[in-house]
Structure 1
Amino acid sequence: MPLSTIFLVFSRLALMGFGGVMPFAYRALVEQRKWLTAEEFAQYLATSQMLPGPTICNVALMVGSRYAGTRGALAALAGMIAGPFLVVVALGVAYQRFGEIEVFRHAIRGMAAVAAGLILATAVKMAKSLFAKADWHARGTLLQLALLALAFVGLGLLQWQLALVFGLLAPLGAGAFYLVGEKK
């Protein structure tokens, strides 16, 4: 795959997302370009969330590497960073000049609400895809749902730090799946 294609796809993704690129990444990489399946996207996303750095940049590195090696990973990362860098600089200048204007502040709040809705819609799409393929008779499926619910309670309702929730649930999940022993 040409490096220019990888760079342009990730540049477009980066410039489409204000406050969150992941919904656009899912749509572009899974639904439109079909570079990844829904399961692969979920695996890349899960791995990226455990690595240091911005999650979408980690996903971009993995996808770029998959299709064009190290140069593809660097092209994808450059695409994710170049455009937003320029936008942030421009927004900083605009905020410095117009930040006291009430309409400007309301516009920023409105964009944040839209970003939250897009992230929720992407989560629902991913969940539907994964749950549709779940083997509900497998012993580990209910355990996965329980861990998912605990993570939601810890992060979403109790607003604990991600590191704390991960530190508690990762060993619990690994140990439980070791004890349950998936039978295939």
Structure 2
Amino acid sequence: MKANWKLIGSLFATFLRMGPLTFGGGYALIPVIEKEIVEKRKWLQSEEVADIVAVSGSVPGAVAVNSATLIGYRIAGLGGALSALLGIFLPTFVLMIGLSLVYVQMKDNPKIEAAFLSIRATVVAMIVYAAIKIGKTAVVDFATGALAAVAVCLLLFGGSFVHPVWVIVFGALAGIAVVKIRALLGRKTKLEEKEPVYDYMI
């Protein structure tokens, strides 16, 4: 299949703009991905972004980098994956070098400390917002709501001995079990039946 260089270039430019916004880790980037990829560009749907973030968090590597690579691949294949990866990585790499030099010189400055404290508080708000957005697409019935509640309890109260990867594995196995039980009872699972239509045009 012939590469769509215009789409690949647009992916690079989009993630290049996102790169400087990755303060606080990849989960803080989710609202930006939602706005750019889902709402503005309409390349993917919210459900797909939620699935990609879940997979990205369950494999080694930074969530932001993994998510960008998977999104790029989903939209434009291998070329899209490479362009999204470079786009998300380059500005972060340059910024980290610059910020490291500045922080070493000014780490004891009260204004700098106050700025970083405010950034951390803002990042928490962005992560909560991302959780709510993804939750709306993931919690669709009582079963998924119960699974989400159990997962939150495991992370909150078992964080010292329960690795997040095992929580994800538990969710996957529980989901399969729920589908099989409902099938045996003759009940349908609430899934998205409509075939999604994607807008890959720039």
> Shorter chain as normaliser: what TM range?
0.7 to 0.9
Aligned partner of 1:106 among 106, 114, 117 = 114
Aligned partner of 1:14 among 5, 11, 19 = 19
C-alpha root-mean-square deviation of aligned residues, in Å?
A: 2.1
Q: Summarize the Cα distance change of 1:157–1:23 in structure 2 as closer, same or farther, 3 Å threshold.
A: farther
The answer to whether the 8 Å contact 2:22/2:92 transfers is no
Q: Summarize the Cα distance change of 1:12–1:109 in structure 2 as closer, same or farther, 3 Å threshold.
A: same
Q: Identify the residue that residue 138 of structure 1 maps to in structure 2.
A: none
Structure (1/2) with the larger helix percentage: 1
Q: Identify the residue that residue 148 of structure 1 maps to in structure 2.
A: 148
Contiguous gaps of at least 5 residues in structure 1 = 135-140
Structure 2 CA distance for aligned equivalents of residues 169 and 127 of structure 1:
14
Identity of aligned residues (%): 28
CA deviation map 1:129-181 (0-9, x unaligned)? 555xx3xxxxxx32211110011112245435313433544434433433333
Contiguous gaps of at least 5 residues in structure 2 = 190-202
1:43 CA displacement: 1.9
TM-score (structure 2 length as normaliser) = 0.77
Q: Identify the residue that residue 137 of structure 1 maps to in structure 2.
A: none
1:80 aligns with 2:82: no
Aligned partner of 2:180 among 150, 173, 178 = 178
Dislocated runs of 4+, deviation >6 Å: none
Counterpart code for 2:176:
A
Bigger relative contact order, structure 1 or 2 (CA pairs below 8 A, ≥6 apart): 2
1:166 aligns with 2:168: yes
How many positions carry a matched residue from both structures?
176
Q: Summarize the Cα distance change of 1:168–1:46 in structure 2 as closer, same or farther, 3 Å threshold.
A: closer
Structure 2 CA distance for aligned equivalents of residues 27 and 57 of structure 1:
18
1:22 CA displacement: 1.6
